[in-house]
Amino acid sequence: MIASSIGYDYMKTMNVVFRKIHIFFFKYMRNFTNNMVLKGIKKENGIQAWMSAQLMYITKKKIPMDAFDFLLQLNAENIHSELVKQDVLILTGRNDHIVPFRAHDMQIKALTNAKSVTGRVFTKEEQAHNHCQFGNLGLALDIMEKWIEKKS
């Protein structure tokens, strides 16, 4: 199994203060949060607006908070990394602008029953440090190909 730019558990990648603020807004300020996100998307206001619009698109949700509710279900409890039994290659960009870098080690540690786990972190010097290794997809594909050949 090969996974690139994994989002192991977004809430656990935040510091505790930031996590509590998010939970408060998700729980008690849903309408306000929906309106703010939609305004940001309409104005194309930065990476957060793009990420929210992309999340709504991939989850097929019209309401931002519905998309965020889906995202919150992608967590350590629900993804069951311990059930993975095959060889695993985790590819991570050191400066991924979407998935926090701490998710890399969290995911690797959670794969407790995998046959083997290989983690590969891409750096700025390799020009593959972004989300899904954009900037040097050729290098990422080479790493994948060599890993597959080694495991075959």
DSSP code per residue over 53-104: HHHHHHHT-SSHHHHHHHHHTSSHHHH-GGG--SEEEEEEETT-SSS-THHH
pLDDT of residue 99: 85
Residue 45 has pLDDT above 90, yes or no: no
pLDDT of residue 92: 96
DSSP structural state of residue 44: T
Q: Which domains does the chain have, with CATH numbers?
A: 2-8+78-151 (3.40.50.1820), 13-72 (no CATH)
Mean pLDDT of 38-46: 88
Q: How far is 36 from 101, CA to CA, in rounded Å?
A: 27
pLDDT of residue 36: 93
Of the two residues 13 and 32, the one the predictor is more confident about is 32
Q: How confident is the model at residue 93 (pLDDT cuts 50, 70, 90)?
A: very high
pLDDT of residue 11: 84
pLDDT of residue 98: 84
Residue 58 has pLDDT above 90, yes or no: yes
Please report, as a single letter, which amino acid is at residue 63.
I
DSSP code per residue over 10-40: GGGGS-HHHHHHHHHHHHH-HHHHHHHHHHH
pLDDT of residue 53: 94
Distances from the Cα of 95 to the Cα of 10, 11, 30, 92, 135, angstroms = 16, 18, 30, 9, 12
State the residue for tokens 């509590």.
20
Mean pLDDT of 53-80: 92
pLDDT tens figures, 95-151 = 998 888 989 999 999 999 999 999 999 999 999 999 999 999 999 999 999 999 999
Give CA angle at 104 (68, 34), nearest 5°.
15
Residue 10 has pLDDT above 90, yes or no: no
**Could you tell me which residues are beta bridge partners of residue 2?**
89
pLDDT of residue 12: 84
